[in-house]
Structure 1
Amino acid sequence: MARIGIIGSDGRMGHALTRAIADAGHEHAGGIDKGGDVANLADRSDALVDFSAPAALAGNLHAAIGAGIPILIGTTGLEERHHETIEAAARAVPVLQTGNTSLGVTLLAHLVQEAARRLGDDWDIEILEMHHRMKVDAPSGTAKLLGEAAARGREIDLAEKTESGRRGLTGAREKGAIGFAALRGGTVAGEHSVIFAGDEERITLAHSAENRMIFARGAVRGAQWLIGKQPGRYRMEDVLEL
């Protein structure tokens, strides 16, 4: 049984995590939100799960390092400077950062990487995602995760090969580009499709999230897996041994 602390406990994911911790037979070590004492939470936890905000990331990592415990980061909207902070923290404690904690999405990303590697850049890749009307960032963390998987498969830099926000006379599609499109509306928990469009044929790999609990269960499994690991930066693929 692991003691798991939640950063961002009053949000929708925080409530789902509380339930998932109990369902998995672990102990809920407590939760905090903006202004809470993260160091105190870390001291009474075996692992932290962070679904708060990018602005809180540095402080949360500092608390995990101070307590010598692992931290799983599911916060989205991270920028390059945040990833640099994560890399530094991972030299001291185990850190798992991901745009999606779903085990199904983790497997999907693996399949996307394999498809991109085997099909080559004669096939156009488009990533379509839809989320609830309250989501504030786009493309979603999951869409970026899938795009990164496709880029790894092709051994290219995603930042240099991204197309998004098409409008008006955009010109022809760049060969080898990875396109992103975002839809928002209703209460959709998460829909992601990766479309491989070739000449006269098309392959679609997709995942549908029906409830936030799939992310909570995956996060709890990932946090428990991190306990006892050596310092380093890990991915959900490591949890599934992909």
Structure 2
Amino acid sequence: MTIKIAIAGSSGRMGRMLIEAVQAADDVELSVALDRLGSDAIGQDACAHTGKNCGVLITDQLSALQNADILIDFTRPEGTLEHLIVCQQYGVKMIIGTTGFDEAGRAMLEAASQKIAIVSAYNMSIGVNLVFKLLEIAAGALSHGYDAEIVEMHHKHKVDAPSGTAIAMGQAIAKAWDQTLSEIAVWSREGITGPREDGKIGFATLRGGDVIGDHTVVFAGEGERIEITHKASNRTIYAQGSLRAARFLQHKETGHYDMQEVLGLK
């Protein structure tokens, strides 16, 4: 059965990439294209940027979601949470790649998962989620005598730091160490900081140019250094991961899932 897909932020870079991925797949179809209120793209064909029309016009009317099975949302927390309310009304499942939710926002997602099925992830890339699994294994083996540092770089337009993916990497390491990230994270360093404390996870954030997303985790020990790196060169990896999540959700009614579950890694 063909899955009817709605896409939020349809005129943005990620939205357009998602539209192209949906159009190229045989088992999904674009049924709704949303954009923010007042966008210049309202009323335009959602596929116009590809040089072909698909007959789906971009709209800011959230009531259009009743025509979809699943909404894919890579926008911003405030927009995603607004969409979440409407999706619950119409029984539309959600795939959420939005990052930067506060505690209240995360609680809203969890509560909504009692009514609709949701996949949310800091990163939808299949490769990145494999890295999360590798980090669990590495951190378990390197729990003593090794210092963990996470370095990430993104384009200059990214508004949150560190990235959601970097945070998720830190959480994977902390879990393997039987810790919570909030207790052992060092988010920044400046001035005379003193010697590095054992058992901490350091973060470094770089911003510039058009970098889509680079992440490196360093386990530094005496006499050796292990580095696990993922570099994204094209946003299609997030779109393909999202479609894989859509196929997973097709057979779920409620629940809150992550990409590790989608990929069968846990």
TM-score by length of 2: 0.87
Tell me the residue number matched to 1:166.
Answer: 189
Give CA-to-partner distance per residue, 1:26-48, whole Å, 9 cap, x none. 2011211223222322x111111
What is the CA distance between 1:153 and its match in structure 2?
Answer: 1.4
- 1:205 to 2:228 alignment: yes
- 1:140 to 2:163 alignment: yes
Give CA-to-partner distance per residue, 1:105-130, whole Å, 9 cap, x none. 01001101111122214311111111
Give the number of the structure whose alpha-carbon radius of gyration is greater. 2
Match of 1:40 among 57, 61, 64: 64
What is the CA distance between 1:162 and its match in structure 2?
Answer: 0.6
- Mind listing any 5+ residue stretches in structure 2 that lack a counterpart? 38-59
Secondary structure of the residue aligned to 2:243 is helix
Give CA-to-partner distance per residue, 1:66-88, whole Å, 9 cap, x none. 12121011011111111111110
- Mind listing any 5+ residue stretches in structure 1 that lack a counterpart? none
Distance (Å, rounded) in 2 between the aligned partners of 1:97 and 1:11 = 20
> Which aligned pairs between 1:73-88 and structure 2 lie closer than 5 A?
73-88=96-111
- 1:195 to 2:218 alignment: yes
Distance (Å, rounded) in 1 between the aligned partners of 2:262 and 2:244 = 8
For 1:85, the aligned partner's letter is M
- 1:63 to 2:86 alignment: yes
**Contact 2:32–2:64 (8 Å) recurs in 1:** no
**Contact 1:70–1:94 (8 Å) recurs in 2:** yes
Secondary structure of the residue aligned to 2:228 is strand
Give CA-to-partner distance per residue, 1:4-50, whole Å, 9 cap, x none. 10111111100000011112222011211223222322x11111111
What is the CA distance between 1:145 and its match in structure 2?
Answer: 1.4
Corresponding residue pairs, total: 241
For 1:178, the aligned partner's letter is I
For 1:19, the aligned partner's letter is E
**Contact 2:139–2:176 (8 Å) recurs in 1:** yes
**Contact 1:57–1:82 (8 Å) recurs in 2:** no
Report the aligned-residue RMSD.
Answer: 1.2
Tell me the residue number matched to 1:119.
Answer: 142
- 1:97 to 2:120 alignment: yes
- The higher relative CO (CA closer than 8 Å, separation ≥ 6) is in 1
What is the CA distance between 1:191 and its match in structure 2?
Answer: 0.6
Tell me the residue number matched to 2:7.
Answer: 6
Secondary structure of the residue aligned to 1:28 is strand
TM-score by length of 1: 0.96
Tell me the residue number matched to 1:31.
Answer: 33
Q: Identity of paired residues, percent?
A: 42
For 1:104, the aligned partner's letter is G
